[in-house]
Structure 1
Amino acid sequence: MTETPSRRRAPGMSAEDRREMIVAAALPLLVEHGSAVTTLQIAKAAGIGEATVFRAFADKDELLAACLSAALRNDHVLAELDAVPLDQPLAARLTEAAATLHAYLDRMGAVIAALHSGGRRSERRGSADSSATGGRAAAGERTHQALVRLLEPDRAALRLPVEQLAVIFLGILVGRRGGAAETPVETLVDVFLHGVIDPSSAAT
């Protein structure tokens, strides 16, 4: 007789760690299935029983709200931006930053779109939307400061204040998303630094 494999248990796991583990399992499923994803699907992905999900979260809406918060959280992005060496050329610094930020924006956008795909109770939607707005604002400010740091070594050579250029650069990255054929980050950085006019074709 074949024994059924036991579900994964984490006897020493704190309540917060368990919540984070469940959210990590839920995020890719949420992107794939939208808010119609079931708690049973999430439990199976996490290797736990469905009852454990409801011990960690009051209901599915609370779990989805936690997924939204996790998608907005950009601590890992800031760590990657802070790790970009400032002794690299500016173009290399910005290309590395652009790749990191684009991956984050893609994930955040996919989760927000999934949560708005339907199936959530209307009375919770307003609260989650307010959370998303506040979360995006805070994440955006932290990201802006990280970009200022990357631009700072070249402040004297730049036409505009680095604080303003950081806003413009982030705006270019956000605008890049969603197109049928997205522009490579290397091209965006080149246009950001050198403009759209080819010097070889400019009138003398």
Structure 2
Amino acid sequence: MLTHLCFQVVDTKRERARPMSPDERREAIIAATRPLLYEHGRATTTKLIAEAAGIAEGTVFRAFATKEELFDAVMEAEFDPIVFLQEVARIDPDTELRERLVAFTTLLQHRFVSIFSLMAAMGMRKPPSTISDPEARKRLASGGLALLLAPDAHRFTLPVERVVDLVRLLTFSGSHPHISDQRPLSPEEIVDVILHGILKDEDPT
């Protein structure tokens, strides 16, 4: 029995010690670097990154040729819509229209705010040129909402594609700290303006 337990301990340690593949190592370093960039911006050092990732500092440079290459990889990951689209896919398509729109707008606003915050921390006024095909990514993100709205297309006075544009544009401007003058719109405000406008119902009397 004791011998059996010893083998179990050894097997567990071996499993835990499984080395990461190069891609896994890069992803782990990117994940560890992201919160550091929010806090320190371009002043983030490879020593801080190595400590956060639990690796030797030299390992950072085996995964990325330079610190700037790592920073670019973090920005690329931040703009990647895959995680956002996975979250959108979890929105229940059978819920009421307003509820679906609020859920989507909440996710979209969180995505915009994260990107705005990281760009500000990195001293960027526009997306970096290293971002691959930002227009294609925008279309992917918008496509998630188009699918959610499709069942209600007959209720709109505008094509679904235009409704998607309105949601994206109002969420972008209503979430940007400078455009909104530090008074961001809530997802509920954004959705209600799009669905109902700002006029009160006229008194029938």
Q: Which TM bucket (shorter chain)?
A: 0.7 to 0.9
Alpha-carbon distance in structure 1 between the residues aligned to 2:80 and 2:162: 24
Alpha-carbon distance in structure 1 between the residues aligned to 2:135 and 2:171: 16
- 2:34 alignment partner in structure 1: 27
- 1:59 alignment partner in structure 2: 66
8 Å CA contact 1:86, 1:150 repeated in 2: yes
Deviations, residues 73-114 of structure 1 (Å, cap 9, x unaligned): 111110111121111111000100011111111111222223
8 Å CA contact 1:72, 1:135 repeated in 2: no
* Structure 1 segments (4+ residues) deviating >6 Å: none
Identity %: 36
Q: Name the structure, 1 or 2, with higher relative contact order (CA <8 Å, separation 6+).
A: 1
Aligned residue identity for 1:70: A
8 Å CA contact 1:98, 1:185 repeated in 2: yes
Alpha-carbon distance in structure 1 between the residues aligned to 2:44 and 2:30: 13
Deviations, residues 142-199 of structure 1 (Å, cap 9, x unaligned): 0111111111110011100001110111001001121322221112111110011111
Deviations, residues 26-67 of structure 1 (Å, cap 9, x unaligned): 011101111111111111111111111011110101101101
8 Å CA contact 1:64, 1:115 repeated in 2: no
- 1:68 alignment partner in structure 2: 75
Q: TM-score, normalised by structure 2?
A: 0.84
- 1:123 alignment partner in structure 2: none
Aligned residue identity for 2:105: A
Structure 1 runs not aligned, ≥5 long:
1-8, 118-127
Number of aligned residues:
186
Which of the numbers 189, 194, 199 marks the counterpart of 2:196?
Answer: 194
- 1:129 alignment partner in structure 2: 128
Aligned residue identity for 1:136: P
Which of the numbers 87, 92, 104 marks the counterpart of 1:85?
Answer: 92
Q: Which of structures 1 and 2 has the bigger CA Rg? A: 2
Alpha-carbon distance in structure 1 between the residues aligned to 2:171 and 2:123: 23
Alpha-carbon distance in structure 1 between the residues aligned to 2:49 and 2:35: 10
Aligned residue identity for 1:129: P
SS in 1 for 2:65: coil
- 1:176 alignment partner in structure 2: 174
Q: Give the superposed CA RMSD.
A: 2.2
